[in-house]
Each structure stands twice: as structure tokens, then as C-alpha cells.
Amino acid sequence: MLPVRRLGPLSVSAIGLGCMNLSHAYGVPPTPDDGAKLLNRALDLGMTFFDTAALYGNGGNERLIGSAIMHRRREFALASKCGLDMVDGERCLNGSPGAIAKTLDAALVRLGTDHIDLYYMHRLDRNVPVEESVGALVRAKEAGKIGAIGLSEMSSATIRRAHAVHPIAAVQTEYSPMVRNPEVAVLETCRELGIGFVAFSPVARGMLAGAVREADYVPGDIRERMPRFTEPNLSHNLVAVRAFAALAAELGHTPAQLALAWVLARGEHVVPIPGTRSVAHLEEDVGAAAIVLDTRVVERVGAIFDGTIRGARYTAPMQAQIDTETLPGEELA
């Protein structure tokens, strides 16, 4: 079994599964049967934390989880998200209490359950005070529909405002050796307040797993629009990625395993949630839980990427919905 870590009241496997790419964002998704096989294999390997959202596949990812593994509900903690949703075929950010309640009720139907263990605000709606959004989640918790409250891609200041309304169990933000924004303030804020930190894209959307060697993405892959993953930035960034892969080989690990072990080493309150469509890669990821890196290796990994990555993390419209702190000199468009 995998070691466990705490996210507020939840005890979960030290490595969880990000389920998004089984339905969303990286071109044509796998078949429902293949997605179900991967989800069940993750449970068999000891993963007990599964992360989805209303946005993913326009609810399709929640439906996949509902059909594939809900018969094993007692074996895992389930996380989903509200705030970002699809409305009339368009991506919509709405953190109002009414929208949150509507998204939650629809999610429960899609998932085939009456309770979600951890429910996140997917993004900060700047038109709605975060206190009002969290208040809606508190009412959902009081009604028994959710067990704990989370935030995604939000700043230290926003986290503190939300936490003053109700204890926040977990904050989710992109974090990997290549993407270090949480180190500005969020990692330490979570540690100080006793909040779990969930690292999504811990292998940098496949960049640190050998999946990106050139900008030859399939249609519908979100990386074809992300500045860090396209030229002229990609060739520059791959120089650091190759140095990272060489270090992984020196240590006897795969690059993905080294990335995950590095994230795990950043604190006992940190839980990475890599995503994959491959059972072989899933098994590789699980193997990272047994790797313990010494301080010297953690520093060597960090040094490879310190100040070296070019290009914005998101497209300009997506960045406008991100509240997480930016790094000094970070490109935003």
C-alpha cells in the first residue's frame, strides 16, 4: 500500500490521481472502458485520492468516475470542483452561491453519490467576494453534500480570507520542479494554517515525463496554445528538461518518478496528483512514493529550473482567472 498523508480531515494516499485527461484537454480521450480500467488499476495499486471537476469533459469525467469506480466508493476519497463549468457550450466562471449549489447538485447526480469528500472552488471569481463563495460551500457541508472545502489556484491572501470563514482542508495549484509559483507564498501559508497542498501537473503536463520533445500536439491538446510548450520557448525549455532527465538517469529513476519524489519532498502536507492515460505510466508514478531524496538532490533538481523557463504558464484569457502569485519576472502572456 502507498504511504498516506493528511488533507484536513482526510487521510489519502501520498500520490493521488488527477483524472482530467481521461476526458478533457489532451485531444481525443480514451474510451470509457479504457478509462475505467485505469481508474480501477489505480485503486488496486493503493491510490485512495481521485480528483475531478465539473468542467472536465463537460461533466463527462464525473460521469466516468461514477460508472467506473463508484461501486468501490469506500476505498477512496473523492474530490471535485465548482466555479468553472460549461454553460451552453461555453466555459463559464461563476462563484456565486447559486451557481455553486447548481453545479454541486448536478455533480452528485453525475457521480452517482450523495457525498463528495473534498469540494474545491476551481478558480476565484473576482466578481464575487470569496467569503460568499465559501459560505455556499459551508452550507453544502452542513447539508451533508460535501465533507471538506478546498480552493484551487488561489493566492495566500485569498486563502487567508477563505480560511477565516471556515477551515480550508486543501489548496490545489500547479506545482512541479518546472513550475514553482507556490513557493512564493502558498506552500508556507498552507503549512502555517494546517492546510493540505495538492500539486496538480507535478510532471509539468508531461514535459518532465518525456512526453514532450517537440510541438507536435494533436488537435484539441491544450499545450498547443500554452506559451511554454510552443516555439520559440519550447526548444529553450527542453534544454533544462534534458538536464533533468540526465539527473534522473544518474539516480536510477525515471524522470516522472524524480519529479514526483521532488514534489513529495517539499513537505509532508504535499500530495501530488499526476494524471495519465497509460496503466504502465500509472504504475511508474506509484513507484515514486518509495523514493526518498536527500537534500542535496532536491537542491540539484531545483537549480536546473531556477530562472530558466521561458513563456507564460497559461494563455492570457486563462491567466486572467488565476489568483496564485507570480514569480519575479514571470511572463504572463
Domain edges within the chain: 4-206+267-292
Per-residue pLDDT averaged across 199-219, rounded?
96
Per-residue pLDDT averaged across 193-203, rounded?
98
pLDDT of residue 116: 98
Contacts of 44 (CB under 8 A, 6+ apart): none
Give the homologous superfamily in CATH for domain 4-206+267-292. Answer: NADP-dependent oxidoreductase domain (3.20.20.100)
270 - beta bridge partners? 197
Cα distance between residue 128 and residue 124, in whole Å: 8
Per-residue pLDDT averaged across 222-248, rounded?
97
Cα distance between residue 312 and residue 90, in whole Å: 23
pLDDT of residue 1: 82
Residue-wise pLDDT for 144-175, tens only, equals 999 999 999 999 999 999 999 999 999 999 99
Cα distance between residue 83 and residue 324, in whole Å: 16
3-class SS of residue 74 = helix
pLDDT of residue 228: 97
- DSSP H or E stretch at residue 104: helix 97-111
Closest CA to 20 of 287, 198, 215, 255: 198
Cα distance between residue 274 and residue 19, in whole Å: 8
pLDDT of residue 89: 85
The answer to whether 109 and 72 have CB atoms below 8 angstroms apart is no
**Is 34 a residue whose pLDDT tops 80?**
yes
Written in H, E and C, the secondary structure of 232-290 is CHHHHHHHHHHHHHHHHHHHCCCHHHHHHHHHHCCCCCEEEECCCCCHHHHHHHHHHHH
- DSSP H or E stretch at residue 271: strand 270-273
- Sorting pLDDT into bands at 50, 70 and 90, what band is 177? very high
Q: Which residue numbers are catalytic? A: 56
pLDDT of residue 88: 85
Closest CA to 171 of 152, 148, 149: 152
3-class SS of residue 16 = coil
Cα distance between residue 246 and residue 38, in whole Å: 29
The answer to whether 198 and 234 have CB atoms below 8 angstroms apart is no
Cα distance between residue 281 and residue 300, in whole Å: 24
pLDDT of residue 113: 98
Per-residue pLDDT averaged across 257-261, rounded?
98
Q: Which amino acid is at 208?
A: L
What is the percent of the chain where pLDDT is above 70?
A: 100
* pTM exceeding 0.75: yes
